[in-house]
Structure 1
Amino acid sequence: MTEPGFDPKLRDDVHIELDRSRIEAILEAVERRDTEALTALLDPLHAADIADLLEQIGPSERRDLLSLWSGHMDGEILSEIDESIREEVIHYLPREVLTEAVRELDSDDVVDILEDLEEPQQEIILGALEDADRVAVEQAMAFPEYSAGRLMQRETVVAPQDWTVGQAIDFLRQEEWLPDQFYHVILVDPRMRPIGHVTLGRLLASKRDVRLQDITEEGFRTIRATEEESEVAYLFNQYHLISAPVVDENDRLVGVITIDDAMNVLDAEHEEDILRFAGVSEESSLADGVVDTVRQRLPWLVVNLFTASLSAVVISFFEDTIAALVALAALMPIVASTGGIGGTQSLAVAVRALATRSLTSANAGRVVRRELLTGLVNGVGLAIILGLAGYLIFGEPMLGVVLGLAMIANQMVAALGGALVPLTLNRLGFDPALASGTFVTTLTDVMGFFAFLGLATVFLI
């Protein structure tokens, strides 16, 4: 039996999207325990789409789907699955299915899976590997967490430095162990130290008698196995690398990092910064339950509760002013809120610039002055609009002046805080994305209320 809308004549190379109708059809097949229909629906999908499906459905549906379809699981799907549910998925897979799936993966993908598993499941994965592969993975796991040694794959394509193009091509044609994807042939000296690399394009375009050393790529770089993976991602992004050899403390080749792994790190860094910027744990996932989600978010909400109390303290100092002119209570949130938005804009630019290393101590002064001037100009523009509105609505000229001056002051404070707070945290060794938002929001709220109510006390009461 075939699901409606599915054409069994579709070839494997036709891209099938994981849309809502297909997800519903898959869940219906699972509910009916129709293995044939489920296989027909899932087989045309890309591994990444199947991983997305497993992440989007609930735990019970995920368990039922895997019990029906686990025999078709391949290693690429395990590699694509979010780490928040990967351990759960592996738990549901039969031992023989897991063994076969893991054997399909390169060593760097196996290491990526092992990092997120408990020791008993790590042993299951390691036990599924061939002896040589297990040794390679265990050696990679011996490197520090979040290092290039964990990120690299051990399968490298190397050639002696004195080979010709013809010798390299003959070698590549004869070998069956080559990685599924590689971009360079790495040239090594007799001590296995990389001295350059040749792109496959240059290799195929050159005559057989050309020496490999004569067609090496410019900008060749090696990476220490102990280098932090964030530094690796920066090097790939900064210097437009496609792949780079990894060396040990003696400069001997131990592996290679390719651009896909480096970009995964870069994406993870950006995702982590976005989540931290919002005060959410980087471990958060759509697959998390209510209890886990609350546990991750509540601490930061409590922190914000205490920082917000500072604004209440400032307002309490001006109780008599507010009582004398009730209109102030309606207007003061406008000043604070607009300042918060301005501070967030400045903060987002600064945090992003720090992450990409375009904001450094060399240009920090210029950036801070630019943000301060921007805050002043924005404040003047908003002051004209808000001051005029305050005068027209309440018929009090000085109220409009107070609103305008408070807006200018708070916009300047917001712009200055948005730039200086992340710079200061970064200088102290803290992640600027983690706590900058709380500090800047508190600063703009406190200064907004203080400036508005303080000016109102001086000029209106």
Structure 2
Amino acid sequence: MTDTELHPAPHEVEDELDEDDRMRPEFVRAVLDAVETGDHAAARALVEPLHPADLADLFELTPQPERAALAHAVAGELDAEVFAEMNEHVREDLLDALTPGEVATLAAEMDTDDAVSIIEDMDEDDQRAVLRALDPDDRAAIEEALSYPEESAGRLMQRDLVAVPEHWTVGDVIDYLRRQEDLTTDFWEVFVVDPGHKPVGTCALSRILRTARSVPVAEVMQREQTLIPTDMDQEEVALRFQKYALISAAVVDASCRLVGMITVDDIVHIIQQEAGEDTLLLSGAGEGDINEPIRRTVRSRLTWLVINLGATMISASVVGLFQGEIARYALLAVLMPIVSAMGGNAGTQTLAVMVRALATNQLTSSNTLRMLGREFRVAACNGAALGGVGALGTYLIFGDPKLSAVFAAAMVINSLVAGMIGVVVPVALDKADIDPAISSAVFVTTVTDVMGFLSFLGLATLVLVP
């Protein structure tokens, strides 16, 4: 077999992506084989047609020990845009191999928000070294962004925007846009400001292009606008974009002066990040990133597994209170896990709905009682249905009407408890300024397990055990 057969030339690899826009394994292998054999020209030729986001995906699909070699081979294609699209853990691996000056060069080519996302995760000493290597304007912008809280609008915003005074005409704006070569190229509206640089309105580019040059901007701008404070949490920012169908929005400081803008492309990333984060937090899986270092993954998961072990021990202690009754009536040991498991499932369903409702501002103080009543009715209906089906199955299998009745009653009780606790716990945690996605699941499963065992074994002790 020839070397050409082992390592296909660039033109012999048909398509980089499959029909679902996922990178083909054979393409990834072809690139890595070229890197391994030292054929950097072939590797560069393979990756040259890739979009920056696809090149970032290639690095994520590359095993960690091989990433540095790949980066060296395709260094000419590895620009700021690729780093901006890259998974944060993969990016950290590559940045560790760069000098502060090289990182500063990349940061200077990025939008401020992307540069901040790179620098904020560095060690303090590395941060200072990179900031020193930046030119004064870029350094000032990034230092200002880093002064805002993490996951806030101040960290998320871009500093490059177009702002014009209210007294200009449409013609003045058009001439300004054409004359200023250093203006940002990615914007959809022009912000109109007063002499104190406070936003007084916005004007969409489409409206500027369709309006006569002599018309004052004040006559065509939209005065109603959504202003985003620099300290607003990024999740709340995303909700405002969704609620008001925004493409971009002005970010203002404590004095209501215009300091930046947020665009919808940043919000799409935030919505995806927050949605995935809540799901993972409910399961106690930490960040859930497959590129996350194993030690960090073990630490984040093990913490919640230990907490769940403690909760399980509490449930087991309840069962221990009835060990004599279980010994005399062995069928109780067969059925009690079913009551507990069904309560846990019902509670998890309610909890997921409530956490989502809190995250999207659908659940507020004004409708909490109504939601509690709604979930009580849902739990009652589900409990009655499950209890009826469970009682019938229990009777057909064991032929004991009293056992069937106890099983049905316990199912109803635990379903009601699950419905109530699934609402009360996340709401209470939210009121206490604790993220309900983080700790709700432990409380809900513990309560439903304890109540499932207590209701079933307690009723059985009263009705069945002599």
The verdict on how the C-alpha distance between 1:337 and 1:152 changes in structure 2, with shifts beyond 3 A counting, is same
The 1:20–1:219 alpha-carbon spacing in structure 2 relative to 1, beyond 3 Å, is: farther
In the other structure, the counterpart of 2:151 is: 146
Question: What's 1:61 paired with?
Answer: 66
CA displacement at 1:226 relative to structure 2: 3.1
Shift of 1:397: 1.3
Does the Cα contact within 8 Å between 2:55 and 2:82 map onto a contact in 1? yes
Give the corresponding residue for 2:3. Answer: none
Please tell me whether the aligned partners of residues 276 and 434 of structure 1 are also in contact (alpha carbons under 8 angstroms): yes
1:90-148 Cα shifts (integer Å, max 9, x gaps): 12246675454333211221112111112343245434543322222222223333332
- 1:103 counterpart = 2:108: yes
Match of 2:381?
Answer: 377
Match of 1:454 among 458, 461, 466: 458
Cα pair 2:108 2:134 within 8 Å, conserved: yes
Query: Does the 8 Å contact 1:102/1:128 carry over to 2?
Result: no
Of 450-459 and 48-57, deviating more is: 48-57
Q: Structure 1 CA distance, aligned partners of 2:284 and 2:173?
A: 52
- Aligned mates of 2:112, 2:86 — CA distance in 1: 17
Shift of 1:314: 1.1
Q: How does 1:46-125 map to 2 (within 5 A)?
A: 46-93=51-98, 98-125=103-130
**Would the aligned equivalents of 1:66 and 1:92 in 2 still touch at CA under 8 Å?**
no
| 2:221 equivalent to 1:249 | no
Q: Give the direction of change, closer, same or farther, for the CA distance of 1:95–1:301 in structure 2 (3 Å limit).
A: closer
Q: Structure 1: which amino acid aligns with 2:278? A: D
| Cα distance change of structure 1 residues 16 and 400 upon mapping to structure 2, 3 Å threshold | closer
What is the CA RMSD across the aligned residues, in angstroms?
2.3
The 2-side partners of 1:292 and 1:231 are apart by 28
Question: Following TM superposition, by how much is the alpha carbon of 1:434 offset from its aligned partner in structure 2, in angstroms?
Answer: 0.9
Confirm or deny that 1:228 pairs with 2:228: no
Aligned equivalents of 2:223, 2:343: Cα separation in 1: 49
- Aligned match for 1:187, one of 188, 192, 198: 192
| Structure 2 residue aligned with 1:281 | 286
8 Å contact 1:58–1:287 — kept in the other structure?
Answer: no
Alignment of 1:25-424 (within 5 A): 25-93=30-98, 98-217=103-222, 219-282=224-287, 284-424=288-428
* 2:13 partner letter: F
CA-CA distance at 1:76 after TM superposition: 1.4
Distance in 2, matches of 1:150 and 1:302, equals 34
SS of the residue 1:208 aligns to: coil
Which ranges of 4 or more aligned residues in structure 1 deviate by more than 4 Å? 94-100
**CA–CA distance in structure 1, aligned partners of residues 235 and 371 of structure 2:** 24
Residue deviations 1:22-77, cap 9 Å, x none? Answer: 22222222222221221122222222222223223322111221121123211111
Give the letter for the 2:162 counterpart: V
Instruction: Structure 2 unaligned segments of length 5 or more: list them.
Output: 1-7
Moved more, 387-396 or 426-435: 426-435
Letter matched to residue 445 of structure 2: T
CA distance in 1 between counterparts of 2:92 and 2:46 reads 24
Q: Is the 8 A contact 1:222 1:247 kept in 2?
A: yes
Letter in 2 for 1:180: T
Q: Is the 8 A contact 2:56 2:85 kept in 1?
A: yes
Residues 40 and 73 in structure 2, CA contact (< 8 A), matched pair in contact too: yes
Equivalent residue, structure 2, for 1:2: 9
Q: Which amino acid aligns with 1:381?
A: A
> Does the residue aligned with 2:313 lie in a helix, a strand or coil?
helix
Which one-letter code corresponds to 1:443 in the other structure?
V
Tell me, in whole angstroms, the C-alpha distance in 2 between the residues paired with 1:438 and 1:404.
25
Amino acid at match of 1:122: Q
Report the alpha carbon displacement of residue 453 of structure 1 after superposing the two structures with TM: 1.3
> SS of the counterpart of 1:197?
strand
Q: For 1:179 and 1:125, how far apart are their aligned partners in 2?
A: 24
For the Cα contact (< 8 Å) 2:200–2:223, is it kept in 1?
Answer: no
C-alpha distance in structure 1 between counterparts of 2:271 and 2:394, whole Å: 47
Once residues 333 and 439 of structure 1 are traced to their aligned partners in structure 2, the CA distance between those partners, rounded to angstroms, is 18
What amino acid is aligned across from residue 437 of structure 1 in structure 2? A
The 2-side partners of 1:128 and 1:109 are apart by: 17
Tell whether the 8 Å contact from 2:56 to 2:87 is kept in structure 1 after alignment: yes
Deviation at 1:17?
A: 4.6
Identify which of 418, 426, 430 aligns with 1:426.
430
AA matched with 1:428: A
Distance 1:295 1:392, change over 3 A: same
Distance (Å, rounded) in 2 between the aligned partners of 1:143 and 1:317: 53
> Is contact 1:372–1:412 with CA below 8 Å preserved after alignment?
yes
Please give the alpha-carbon distance, in whole angstroms, between the structure 2 residues aligned to 1:94 and 1:231.
36
Q: Normalised by the size of structure 1, how large is the TM-score? A: 0.93
Could you tell me whether the CA contact under 8 Å between 2:201 and 2:224 is conserved in 1?
Answer: no
Greater mean alpha carbon deviation, residues 334-343 or residues 19-28: 19-28
Deviation, 1:193, is 1.6
1:300-337 deviation line (CA, Å, top 9, x unaligned): 11111111011111111111221122222111111111
- 1:145-175, Cα deviation, whole Å (9 max, x unpaired): 3332222111120111111222211211122
* Counterparts of 1:57 and 1:152, CA distance in 2: 31
Q: Which runs of 5+ in 1 are unaligned?
A: none
Per-residue CA deviations over 1:386-434 (Å, capped at 9, x if unaligned) read 1011111111111111111111111111111111111111112211111
